Structure 1
Amino acid sequence: MDVQSLAKLPFNLKIIPTTVDGIPAGLPFIAMFNPESFSVHEDLVWNRPCPPGKQGSEPTYVKTNPRTFTIEFTLDGTGVNTNGVKIPVTAQMALFRGVTTNIRGSIHRPHYLMVQYGTFINVCIMNSSNVTYTMFDMFGLPIRAKVSATFTERTIKGLSDVLGMLSSPDLTHRKTVKEGDLLPLLTREVYNNQHYYIQVARVNRIKNFRKLKAGTELFFPPLSKK
């Protein structure tokens, strides 16, 4: 590999095996070439009830599914990027599969993964990969291939608990009023129910909840367990 390519290697796409807690636990797969494309998909689930005889209704938020992302990159065995040293595509594929899809005896499943490319860092699992061989030598062995791999984002358990706590209606929240804010809508953001706005107004000693002063800090107490 030439000096320029070697200098860029630390910035190339890396797929790193990890423990369930997201700690690196093995040698990474480092792509020889950076991705040709990189796409991220986000999927929000909404409940859209429509009573009989009605044309439509207001969707209500249910959940946000984990993000999925797809990366496409090239494997090359011609030596074009390695100063003429030909690394067989079959060997590169074996390294890729060793990190992503091979069953690990100690955990009885493929590795948990971390994908890192530039500023994108994501703990995830791999859903699928598709390999298209595009060039062959005189013996019919592949010397170039395109890989398309799809991953699903993971939220590590401890982090998931923290994120859930930060948005929980069972905790105290404070919000700073912005111009145009309405108390029922702020209440809905915190409790997922706007009907508590009268109690919030009482706690904050608000006489006219229709005219909130911008810059005011409002206190949203935790909901009663009852």
Structure 2
Amino acid sequence: MDAQSLAKLPFNLKIIPTTLEGIPFGVPFIAMFNPENFAVHEDLHWSSACAPGKEGTEPKYVKTAPRTFTIEFTLDGTGVNTNGVKIPVPVQIALFRGVTTNIKGTIHRPHYLMVQYGTFINVCIMNSSNVTYTMFDMFGFPIRAKVSATFTERSPQGLSDVLGMLSSPDLTHRKIVKEGDLLPLLTREVYNNQHYYIQVARVNRLKNFRKLQAGTELFFPPLSKK
């Protein structure tokens, strides 16, 4: 590999095997070329159940599904990016599969993964991959291929617990009022239920909760277990 390509290699797409807790463990797959396409999909689930005898409804938030993302990149065996050193495409595919899809005897499943490209870092699992061979030599041996791989984001248990605690209605929250904020809407953000705004007004000793003053700090106490 030439000096220029070698210098850029640390910034290339990496697929890194990790432990269950999301700690990098093992030899990563480093793409020779950076992705041609990188698409991130987010899916929010809403409930639109309508009461009998009524028309229309207000959708209610249920959950946010884990993000999925798809990466497309090229594998090349012509030596164009390695200063004439030809790394066979089947070998590169074997290295890719070794990190992403091969079952590991110690855990009886494929690796947990971390995908890193630029500022994008995601702990995930791989759902699927598709290899399209796009160039062959005179003997029919593949010398170039495109890989499209789809991943699903995961939250290791420790990180998931911390994030859940930070957003839990069982903890005290504080919010700084911005111009135009309404107490029922702020209450809904914290408790996922706007009907507690009167109790919040009492806790904060608001004389006029319909007109909040920008810059005021409001306290949202934990919900009672009852």
Q: TM-score range by the shorter chain?
A: over 0.9
Deviation at 1:52? 4.4
Q: Secondary structure at the match of 2:81?
A: coil
Q: Secondary structure at the match of 1:164?
A: helix
- Residue 94 (1) aligns with residue 99 (2): no
Task: State how 1:2-17 maps to structure 2 within 5 Å.
Answer: 2-17=2-17
- Alignment partner, residue 35 of structure 2: 35
Task: State how 1:40-59 maps to structure 2 within 5 Å.
Answer: 40-52=40-52, 54-59=54-59
Following the alignment from structure 1 to structure 2, what is the Cα–Cα distance between the partners of residues 4 and 216?
Answer: 55
- Alignment partner, residue 225 of structure 1: 225
- Unaligned residue ranges in structure 2 (runs of 5+): none
1:19-64 Cα distance to aligned partner (Å, 9 max, x none): 0111111111011111111010000001112334544221111100
Following the alignment from structure 2 to structure 1, what is the Cα–Cα distance between the partners of residues 195 and 73?
Answer: 52
- Alignment partner, residue 215 of structure 1: 215
Tell me how large the CA RMSD over aligned residues is.
Answer: 1.0
Identity %: 88
Q: Secondary structure at the match of 2:24?
A: coil
- Alignment partner, residue 158 of structure 1: 158
- Alignment partner, residue 78 of structure 2: 78
Q: Secondary structure at the match of 1:90?
A: helix
Following the alignment from structure 1 to structure 2, what is the Cα–Cα distance between the partners of residues 122 and 198?
Answer: 41
- Residue 60 (1) aligns with residue 60 (2): yes
Following the alignment from structure 1 to structure 2, what is the Cα–Cα distance between the partners of residues 81 and 179?
Answer: 55
Deviation at 1:97? 0.2
- Alignment partner, residue 199 of structure 1: 199
Amino acid at match of 2:131: V
TM-score, normalised on structure 2?
0.97
- Residue 148 (1) aligns with residue 145 (2): no
- Residue 109 (1) aligns with residue 105 (2): no
Following the alignment from structure 1 to structure 2, what is the Cα–Cα distance between the partners of residues 53 and 137?
Answer: 68
Deviation at 1:92? 0.4
Q: Secondary structure at the match of 2:175?
A: strand
Q: Secondary structure at the match of 1:147?
A: strand
1:114-153 Cα distance to aligned partner (Å, 9 max, x none): 1111111111000000000111112211111000000001
Task: State how 1:124-143 maps to structure 2 within 5 Å.
Answer: 124-143=124-143
1:147-192 Cα distance to aligned partner (Å, 9 max, x none): 0000001111111111111111111111111111111111111111
Moved more, 52-61 or 145-154: 52-61
Moved more, 19-28 or 92-101: 19-28
